[in-house]
Amino acid sequence: QITLKESGPTLVKPTQTLTLTCTFSGFSLSTSGVGVGWIRQPPGKALEWLALIYWNDDKRYSPSLKTRLTITKDTSKNQVVLTMTNIDPVDTATYYCAHSKAGHWYFDLWGRGTLVTVSS
Amino acid sequence: DIQMTQSPSTLSASVGDRVTITCRASQSISTWLAWYQQKPGQAPNLLIYKASDLESGVPSRFSGSGSGTEFTLTISSLQPDDFATYYCQQYNFYSQGTFGQGTKVEIK
């Protein structure tokens, strides 16, 4: 059974760096074709695709956020980490991580999400 | 960047109605399109992938069609559990994914 869980701070001050961790089980990020992505959703708004890392360490980023995002993986810990620099109140959102199964690049399984509020 | 545009933004319908949601891509994406359902306070749930393939466990009243730039999600007979927000997403290995802005299906 595949599960994913997001963790990180619930409150961040503007200009700080946000670090979120996705801890997963039920699959390995060393399996060919597998990926883990991050998606966010501001309160009452639409989903926004942020970043995705593949089994081979290939990475994709949203063009509009590329300069602020870094996605990394720790295969031994079954974790994927997303860092976002220079945080702003508009980055207040629920952040989800999700599994992309081998050979497919949509998200078939999602974590429950973690709400991050940016405020001074 | 590929932009995804859904219509309508909101849809009012009754139980038993046939419902169709449209998603348009700013350039051809072949059939690399997924549909998700999201209920308040929950994570999205995958319904359809590769434009028309039904995810395991999803009721057969959901169907998807289209290719290139125009896609549709159809609910053949709307059920009380189907009142939710629906998102399309284009995906491919070589670049970033993009979600549509969502379609909220409300009770009429």
pLDDT-based confidence at residue A76 (cuts at 50, 70, 90): very high
What are the DSSP calls for B28-84, one per residue? Answer: --TT-EEEEEE-TTS--EEEEETTTEEPTT--TTEEEEEETTEEEEEESS--GGG-S
**Does any CB of chain A come closer than 8 Å to the CB of residue B96?**
yes
Label residue B92 by pLDDT band (50, 70, 90). Answer: confident
Per-residue pLDDT at A25: 97
As a dihedral over the C-alpha atoms of residue B2, residue B30, residue B50, residue A38, rounded to 10 degrees, the angle is: -20
pLDDT band at residue A104 under the 50/70/90 scheme = confident
- Chain A nearest-CA distance from B32, in A, is 9
Chain B CB contacts of A106 under 8 Å are 34, 46, 49, 89, 91, 97
CB contact under 8 A, B96 and A48: no
Q: How far apart are CA B32 and CA B71, in angstroms?
A: 10
Rounded to the nearest angstrom, the minimum Cα separation between A108 and chain B is 6
Give the per-residue pLDDT at A16.
97
Contact residues on chain B for A113, CB-CB shorter than 8 A: 43
Q: How many residues does chain B have?
A: 108
- Across chain A, what does the average pLDDT equal? 96
Q: Of the candidates A104, A106, A111, which has its C-beta nearest B43's C-beta?
A: A111
Tally A–B CB contacts below 8 A: 64
CB burial readout B85-99, b (16+ within 10 A) else e: bbbbbbbeeeebbbb
User: pLDDT category, A63, cuts 50, 70, 90?
Assistant: very high
Could you tell me if B37 lies within 8 Å of chain A, comparing CB atoms? no
Distance CA A96, CA A16 (A): 20
For residues B98 and B88, give the distance between their C-alpha atoms in angstroms, rounded to a whole number. 8
Q: What are the pLDDT digits (tens) for A10-35? A: 999 999 999 999 999 999 999 999 99
Cα gap A33→A103, rounded to integer Å: 5
A99 touches A107 (CB < 8 A):
yes
Judged by a CB distance cut-off of 8 A, whether residue B98 touches chain A is: yes
Subunit contact B87:A46, Cβ cutoff 8 A: yes
**Could you report the per-residue pLDDT of A39-60, keeping only the tens digit for each?**
999 999 999 999 999 999 999 9
Which residues from A are below 8 Å from B43, CB to CB?
Answer: 96, 98, 110-113
Distance CA A28, CA B64 (A): 30
For residue A48, the chain B residue with the least C-alpha distance is B99
